[in-house]
Structure 1
Amino acid sequence: MEKLEDNLTNSNVPQMIKTGEGGVGGVSLNEEDDDIDWEVNPEAVKKLVEKYQGEEFPLFMGEDVLDLNNPHIQALQALVYDDETPESLARQFRTVGNEYFQDGNVRYKDAIIAYTKGIEQKSTDKETNSLLYSNRAHVYLLLKRYVDCVDDCRASLKENPKNVKAAYRGCRASMCMQLYRQALNFALHGLKYEENNPELLKLKSQLEERLSEIEKRKKEREDLEKRNGCKNESLQKRDNILNKRKYILGEAIYDVIHTYNHEIKCLNNELVYPVLILLDEPMLCEFICEAKESSTLSDHLKVMFPKDRTLPWDTNGRYNWETVSVFYEPGPPHHNTVWEVSIEKSIREILDVVRYIPKIPTIHIIAKNSTCIEEFSKITYNVVRDPLLI
């Protein structure tokens, strides 16, 4: 944002002229004043700025003290918005956001606000909407808000599938969260439209190599289990129970290193599950090595979120076991789909309804009063609300 002196040019500001006597403050007034070509006196402008820069009036306020709640600011904004369409406003907010972004990390918060205001215009221009989402995703990526970045990249590609930058940023953010398959999907999407994009080709190669290593370790482990006869009576009982209940067992949805050596077991004729819990808002995860199928979600949430204290990252105190929304993600073939579930439901009750089980059953947890729950349930995932589970 330029300083006041820079904005007051001959082309855009009525200017002061020195005249003869008979005027007010040295300026002559008559019926034809509106048609006069005014000339600026730079010294007078400078004195005005120095005199009034501390006043709470927008024309003389420094950019570092602008308050959007100031009535003068709001009045000026109303004038700016007159005769504007949602499309033109969205483009203007994008331009403002880009200018803030160019100022560096001290203005990233302002850039996010500008891009968000542009999105809120609900423009019908899909190209502009896509750019607003992908530009905001860029800021989120630099701020290491990877979940927000991925969400915005998905929204950007929904508006314009050809936005290769959105695919690239979604790939980078997914890699940072060790979601390698998801990252590869973003890279492959971008390469559909720019098949020779060097950055995407490099990421694709890295991801394929990483996934190959994971698959190799998995195969080595399976071979070792076969050689050592690890599929013992307990595992056979497990398979029999899964088949009898018509559960469909799939691969793990997320590549999280500390889940590799865990699997579903049968202990005392009861299935025991490893459970991955994703806290989407703070971008954290918890892992339960063994959760009995008879246990309810509240049994585990009471341990994670005790009432008598808050966790270090929960600065607003919004997370306790009674104030969270819980979603079960079954994975393929239900891509980007979750089931909302009551915390009083047992693991078995949930699986008896959904029947699809990833190798590591996955639960998402978001505070009910969180601002991100709407985006989670409307943009990131399709939410199924089965009466049997709510």
Structure 2
Amino acid sequence: MGDDGDDDVMDAFIDRFKTEKYKNAFSEENWEEEMDRIPLFMTKAPDVVDPEKYPQLAALQSMIYDEDRTPEEKAEDLKNEGNSYFKKKLYKPALLSYTAALKMKSDNPDLDTVIFSNRAATHFYLGNMRSALNDATAAKKLKPDHLKALVRGAQCCVELRKFAEALKWCDEGLKLHPEDKKLQELRAVADKLKRAADRDARKAKVKEKKLLGEKETLLNIIKERGIKFLPSARPRRGSDSDEEEKSSSPLSLDGLSSQEVTGAQVHVNPEDGALYWPVLFLYPEHQQSDFISAFCENHSFSDHLSVMFGEELPPWDTDRKYRPSNLQLFFEDEQNETLYQVDAQTSLLQAQQHRRYFVKAGTPSFILLVKDSPFCQRYLSDKKVHRL
């Protein structure tokens, strides 16, 4: 047959090809979905492999899990499957494959070492540093000179800020692989970070010791003034007896915790040696409060009330009745459920030195009521009230 005959046959084939669809071709609508069913092009492994939907993948798995194959052969195939996923950065499917490979129990230490090391790398890229370190440790136990496991173990320790342990991994590795650049670099990084962490720890310890000393000094100053903190455990109700006073908790550093709540804390003014306290004023009639961050112990309450309720009254006082001359000041004895009325000319220290006054959570607090008001009468009607 001549060239012209061949051309005629080819032209006829092409014409028929244009009009007839290939029976096994991908559909135009679902070609991406159909391609994703082929193991080579999969972007995500299915949780359940349906042989009708994933025939190629089912065939591969049947080869891997064939009962006639040895555990080592199955583990090898699963390892290769994990490697394929890992190269595509599909770390979760890779993790499943490596885990399945280890479950085969191949009894081949060299193969298991590689699988543990590869799974350690997978955990590392997933951010599971502790699991990665566990796998690197398992690989090193099977084969102490396995370089990838040694490198991965050191990397995990650095990420976990276990710098001393990272140095140990590096030193063990460099004894076996003295020329390895990666181990040398990791050791330099771990050593630098360890020195910085040790320096920071020393600074923090010195700072903590200094703060502790300052708090203990402050505590002694408070104790010398006869100021008491509210007991952490509520004692049994009773009278104002000396025995009850002894049941109150002693001064402790925990009692100076107001900074956590209010942002301020009692401190000593170095110029005059006076204590300055954060003080809370409560207005139960309006469910309002005022906070003074530094109330000098030698100042009277009237000094602050004249400023707080001077020309400019608070917006919640719509009746304009919170004037300094109209106010009554109290502190509460929570143990005996008793109110003690405090004269506005009294200093903060004088109130704190009362035998039934206890500072709660590092912040002295006082109640303010409008004298002879209906609310004041109702508020005091069911309470025991004493004057200082």
| TM-score (normalizing by structure 1) | 0.41
Structure number, greater radius of gyration = 2
TM-score of the pair, normalised by structure 2: 0.41
